Amino acid sequence: MTLNVSLPLQLETRVREHVASGLYGSASEVIREALRLFEAYQTVQTSSLIALKIDTAKGMADVHAGRVTEMDMAAIKSHGRTLLKAKPSK
């Protein structure tokens, strides 16, 4: 398949630099690699979003089931500071 694309000057310069570096044999190789990386990035992003939605649903289920209580940040900080003071220094 042959496909001609127009790139802004900045992207064209970057493609040419990659070819000139010797890492790629042609502009087509640079574009193919960029598309592979883009697809991999999208896969990771989609997986992360799915995991976030699952975690959010679990959290909301805990709220609806009454397994969530209000946090007392002052007590949490105080407890943490107490633990830090009790920790032996190196």
pLDDT tens digit sequence for 23-53: 999 999 999 999 999 999 999 999 999 999 9
Four-residue CA torsion sign, 58, 64, 65, 66:
positive
**For 67-86, how does the pLDDT look when each residue is reduced to its tens digit (9 = 90+)?**
999 999 999 999 999 999 99
DSSP label at 88?
Answer: P
Place of tokens 């064209």: 12
Between CA 17 and CA 7 the distance in angstroms is 14
